[in-house]
């Protein structure tokens, strides 16, 4: 049965609360708070609306998958989420859930949820990503693949997902009747668990193994998930044995994927491993020039130079900064100047001068408390380990841009609620426990210095 209007409304309020916790107050207030639930629909589709096309495009690009998963988790009958503009009420491209019935696989497969903007023509090539781009183009070519799987790795926000979407577009352009399936590792895990609970793993297996091109994004998210890894291993085994195409991405090379079974890493190592390095200044500048076509604002060259020189770590962060400046100018009616950009991006520009990683935090905290780094990600709950672990989580939330779920995963696969508890606990203890406060102050000075 489909959910009633009241059930949908209650689900939406819970999802909003979850988004605010994970995204943080600033991002939530800027992009997600304006999202409104639109009445109507057939009971299997959710309609959401924003006040401008620009904001709708941003939310669709960054949160469409997440919103669909959140609604399906609370209301299994939901099959699609559309993100519209409140002014026109015209529906956007709908992100549709894959069918989960046990019907036989049909020869012509539904199109995957690929972003039309993420194609090869819009990917800026440079020495730092040239090998990965050429490998991606080669895998998308028709005929017998020269290699498979293709494993692409880099730190977050450097273009892995863009290349995977581009592979899907190019492959379908050459073979329109092919079956292409793209999903995150989290989605793989979510769908597999749902199939197990519904006692319908057969249709899940059929759907994945029928793909001519299977792409799994962010493999690191299944680290430590034994049952999911078991199914993942058999899936990639059958895909490879059938001579089909497989693309995997992760935030590190296969050998550094702690918590992923050796047999999986061995199978992935059979193909081609390509990395994407951090962009240099010329590439960052070229990316901004390309991105200008999507920005409904006049951005001076000096502002582009500022962004390219100060935001150095992530292409996603770089593009996000440009989007934010353009959005603020649109919402306030002001022109974009250097002073306007600095005022709008003040904290982001300051934060980009010294980028702290969770690995650095874990290393420094373990040294400070004379622990092994592995203790912070272990299951040990002794106070001598638990308190430093909470301090490390607190510092990760304060000094990095990682989301709560990402921080939890870096600390032994813990839930985001554990991170929230740790942050609140250390905040409280800093007011009442001098030793905790002193330790945090010392660590902050070393990490921010």
**DSSP-derived secondary structure for 346-358:** HHHHHHTTS---H
CA Rg value for the chain? 23
Q: pLDDT value at position 202?
A: 84
CA distances for 364 relative to 30, 42, 405, angstroms: 33, 54, 22
DSSP conformation letters of 141-192:
SSSS-SS--EEEE-STTSSHHHHHHHHHHHHHHH-TT--EEEEEHHHHHHHH
C-alpha 172/C-alpha 269 separation (Å) is: 26
Nearest in space to 134 (alpha carbons), one of 307, 274, 290? 274
**Complete edge-to-edge strand list for the sheet that includes strand 180-184:** 180-184, 213-217, 245-250, 150-153, 272-275
Looking up tokens 């406060």 gives 437
Question: What are the pLDDT tens digits along the chain (449 aa)?
Answer: 345 678 888 888 888 888 887 777 777 877 888 898 887 656 678 888 888 777 787 788 778 878 888 888 888 888 888 888 875 443 333 333 343 333 433 333 445 668 888 899 989 999 889 999 999 999 999 888 888 899 999 888 889 999 999 999 999 999 888 889 998 888 899 888 888 888 878 888 888 888 899 999 999 888 888 888 999 999 998 898 888 999 999 988 888 888 889 999 888 888 899 999 888 888 888 999 888 877 877 888 888 888 887 787 788 888 888 988 988 888 888 888 888 888 888 766 755 555 678 999 999 999 999 898 899 999 888 888 999 999 999 998 887 778 888 999 999 999 999 999 999 999 889 888 888 988 988 888 787 65
Q: pLDDT value at position 353?
A: 52
Q: pLDDT value at position 255?
A: 83
Q: pLDDT value at position 40?
A: 60
C-alpha 216/C-alpha 185 separation (Å) is: 6
């Amino acid at each position: 049965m489909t959910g009633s209007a009241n059930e949908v409304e209650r689900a939406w309020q819970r999802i909003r609360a979850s988004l605010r916790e994970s995204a943080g107050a600033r991002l939530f207030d800027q992009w997600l708070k304006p999202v409104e639930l639109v009445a109507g629909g057939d009971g299997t589709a959710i309609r959401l609306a924003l006040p401008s096309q620009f904001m709708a495009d941003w939310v669709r690009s960054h949160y469409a998958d997440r919103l669909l998963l959140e609604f399906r988790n609370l209301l299994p009958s939901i099959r699609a989420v559309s993100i519209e503009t409140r002014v026109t009420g015209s529906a956007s491209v709908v992100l549709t859930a894959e069918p989960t019935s046990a019907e036989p696989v049909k020869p012509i497969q539904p199109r995957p949820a690929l972003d039309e903007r993420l194609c090869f023509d819009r990917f800026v090539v440079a020495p730092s990503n040239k090998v990965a781009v050429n490998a991606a183009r080669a895998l998308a070519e028709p005929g017998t693949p020269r290699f498979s799987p293709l494993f692409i790795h880099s730190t977050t926000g450097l273009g892995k997902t863009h290349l995977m979407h581009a592979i899907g577009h190019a492959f379908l352009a050459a073979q329109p009747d092919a079956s292409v399936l793209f999903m995150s590792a989290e989605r793989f895990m979510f769908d597999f668990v749902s199939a197990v609970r519904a006692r319908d793993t057969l249709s899940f297996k059929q759907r994945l193994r029928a793909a001519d091109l299977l792409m799994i994004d962010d493999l690191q998210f299944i680290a430590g998930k034994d049952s999911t890894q078991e199914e993942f291993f058999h899936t990639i085994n059958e895909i490879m044995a059938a001579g089909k195409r497989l693309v995997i991405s992760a935030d590190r090379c296969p050998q550094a994927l702690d918590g992923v079974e050796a047999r999986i890493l061995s199978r992935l190592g059979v193909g081609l491993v390509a990395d994407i390095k951090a962009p240099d200044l010329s590439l960052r500048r070229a990316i901004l020039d390309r991105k200008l076509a999507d920005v409904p604002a006049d951005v001076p060259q000096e502002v582009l130079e500022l962004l390219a020189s100060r935001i150095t770590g992530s292409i996603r962060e770089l593009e996000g900064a440009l989007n934010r400046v353009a959005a603020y100018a649109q919402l306030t009616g002001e022109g974009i100047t250097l002073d306007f950009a600095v005022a709008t991006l003040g904290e982001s520009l300051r934060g980009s001068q010294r980028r702290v990683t969770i690995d650095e935090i874990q290393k420094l905290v373990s040294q400070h408390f004379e622990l092994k780094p592995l203790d912070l990600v272990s299951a040990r709950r002794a106070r001598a380990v638990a308190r430093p672990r909470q301090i490390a989580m607190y510092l990760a939330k304060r000094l990095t841009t990682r989301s709560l779920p990402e921080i939890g995963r870096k600390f032994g696969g813990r839930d985001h609620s554990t991170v929230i508890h740790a942050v609140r606990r250390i905040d409280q203890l800093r007011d009442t426990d001098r030793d905790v406060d002193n330790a945090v102050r010392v660590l902050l000075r070393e990490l921010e210095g």
